[in-house]
């Protein structure tokens, strides 16, 4: 029997791996043992969900420490060897839009220092070599896992950030064990340098493939495109409710058009946009009778800000049902029912109003109109706090340039764009289809199957 290690540090990884065909297919292999490495204090519902004869749950061990030199010198230097428009903004304003800071001097020195250095490919390779060869002692806390299970393959999904995933990759390499990496989200590769590399990369699309080659110094032959596994649910017709049942479930009048508003927790005034949408309905400014379905970002329930509770009492708004929040996986932990519910939201809505988020891509998958808000709510904010900053990120440029989404730069433009889509939902349809094909590689509902097949093919060679 062969063994595979799969690290599941976050809810987003659990969704992508455990609640798609990847885990279902792997679990069905009777000659394969799956060791899931989860954070401590695994929730009882999660243990029950994952229970199977060939599945073993191991809780994460002691924290993997970097050591003073790596923590304060090597890692900060390495990570900034990816220098893009995204990282320029991070140097200038910080990486959290919810907590911006103005640092012009830091930004100035980053331009003259990391700008040129990021173009030196050899420097990236040298830093990775130093990290791999001179700090073995910090990985020893996880070497006993390898001794215990003798894995044939290691599969990680959060190795941009997670020190445990990085340790697993380094140990696998030292033990001559194959490794696969799949970055958990499409917006990771333009931010920081990957410190450790797997033998094989699985990516969603050509965009991510090009970023790996250009920014991360990864060889083309080590990359396989597979599509977006968490989008597979959107091709399963049995998950969709009838219009009547869906509306009854949410308390929505089925005769009204549904405008789905997706919030962004990093924009601390995004509830103002939902208020503006609701005001459009009250004023009769929209050409059809509409209801605003408000979907707070999952971080809202984790942080418990309560900013969207007021929409429970609005006459023309409905507050969406929250996704599951667990303890083990650091908050958001959507189960299959949550995934089906989002699919139904997108299937039954008439359009989506949101920001520069993955929800825009989910919506384009259904070929529904998408409007991205490009103004700052009730009044104009300073650039430090402006929503416009989010549209400068490198990963989002292909979305904007595709024409699959429309940017609304003012309250009036938002109203007019909504009315255009209400009158003609097929507007921009071809652009959305083209972008869906490009972004999803093969939007056929078989991405999870392709990932599982790649994993099994590498296992068979091990």
pLDDT value, residue 420: 98
**Is 375 in contact with 408 (CB distance < 8 Å)?**
yes
Q: Which domains does the chain have, with CATH numbers?
A: 2-65+121-231+446-461 (3.40.50.2000), 83-117 (no CATH), 237-440 (3.40.50.2000)
- Predicted structure pTM score: 0.93
Closest CA to 170 of 190, 199, 207: 199
pLDDT value, residue 327: 83
Percent of the chain with pLDDT over 70: 100
Give the span between the Cα atoms of 253 and 279, in whole angstroms: 18
Query: Which residue has 């990236």 as its token pair?
Result: 124
Sign of CA dihedral 226, 227, 231, 237: negative
- Summarised one tens digit per residue, pLDDT across range 195-248 is 999 999 999 999 999 999 999 999 999 999 999 999 999 999 999 999 999 999
Closest CA to 17 of 176, 196, 202: 202
The side-by-side arrangement of strands in the sheet containing 290-295 is 317-319, 290-295, 257-262, 351-354, 370-373, 406-408
Longest dimension (CA), the chain: 68
Query: Which pLDDT band, with edges at 50, 70 and 90, does 102 fall under?
Result: confident
pLDDT value, residue 384: 87
- Summarised one tens digit per residue, pLDDT across range 353-369 is 999 989 999 999 999 99
Q: At what angle do helices 85-93 and 104-117 cross, to 10 degrees?
A: 150
Q: What are 94's two structure tokens?
A: 């910080």
Residue 117 phi, psi (nearest 5): -65, -30
Name the DSSP letter for residue 28: T
**Is 367 in contact with 421 (CB distance < 8 Å)?**
no
């Amino acid at each position: 029997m062969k063994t595979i290690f799969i690290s599941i540090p976050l809810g987003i990884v659990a969704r992508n791996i455990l609640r798609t065909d990847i885990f279902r297919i792997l679990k069905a292999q009777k000659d394969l043992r799956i060791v899931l490495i989860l954070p401590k204090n695994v929730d009882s519902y999660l243990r029950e969900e994952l229970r199977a004869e060939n599945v073993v749950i191991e809780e994460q061990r002691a924290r993997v420490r970097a050591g003073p030199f790596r923590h304060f010198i090597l890692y900060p230097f390495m990570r900034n060897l990816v220098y893009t428009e995204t990282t320029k903004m991070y140097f200038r304003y910080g990486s959290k839009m919810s907590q911006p800071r103005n640092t012009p001097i830091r930004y100035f020195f980053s331009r003259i220092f990391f700008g040129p250095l990021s173009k030196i490919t050899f420097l990236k390779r040298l830093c990775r070599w130093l990290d791999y060869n001179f700090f073995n002692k910090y990985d020893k806390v996880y070497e006993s896992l390898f001794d215990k299970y003798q894995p044939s393959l290691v599969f990680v999904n959060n190795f941009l950030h997670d020190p445990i995933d990085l340790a697993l990759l380094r140990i696998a390499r030292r033990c001559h064990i194959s490794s696969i990496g799949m970055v958990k989200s499409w917006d990771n590769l333009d931010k920081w340098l990957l410190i450790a590399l797997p033998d094989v990369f699985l990516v969603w699309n050509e965009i991510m493939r090009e970023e790996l080659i250009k920014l991360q110094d990864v060889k083309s032959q080590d990359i396989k495109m597979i599509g977006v596994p968490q989008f597979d649910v959107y091709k399963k017709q049995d998950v969709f409710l009838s219009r009547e049942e869906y509306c009854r479930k949410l308390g929505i009048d089925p005769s009204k058009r549904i405008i789905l508003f997706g919030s962004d927790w990093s924009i601390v005034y995004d509830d103002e946009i939902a208020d503006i949408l609701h005001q459009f309905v009250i004023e009769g400014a929209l050409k059809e009778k509409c209801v605003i379905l408000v979907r707070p970002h999952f971080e809202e329930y984790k942080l418990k800000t309560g900013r969207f509770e007021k929409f429970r009492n609005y006459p023309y708004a409905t507050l969406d049902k929250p996704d599951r929040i667990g303890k083990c996986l650091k908050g958001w932990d959507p189960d299959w029912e949550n995934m089906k519910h989002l699919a139904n939201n997108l299937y039954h809505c008439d359009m989506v109003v949101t920001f520069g988020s993955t929800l825009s891509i989910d919506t384009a998958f259904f070929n529904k109109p998408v409007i991205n808000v490009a103004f700052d709510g009730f009044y104009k904010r300073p650039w430090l706090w402006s929503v416009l900053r989010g549209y400068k990120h490198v990963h989002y440029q292909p979305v904007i340039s595709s024409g699959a989404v429309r940017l609304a730069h003012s309250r009036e433009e938002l109203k007019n764009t909504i009315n255009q889509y209400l009158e003609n939902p097929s507007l921009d349809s071809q652009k959305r289809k083209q972008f869906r094909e490009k972004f999803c590689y093969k939007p056929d509902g078989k991405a999870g199957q392709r990932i599982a097949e790649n994993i099994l093919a590498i296992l068979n060679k091990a």
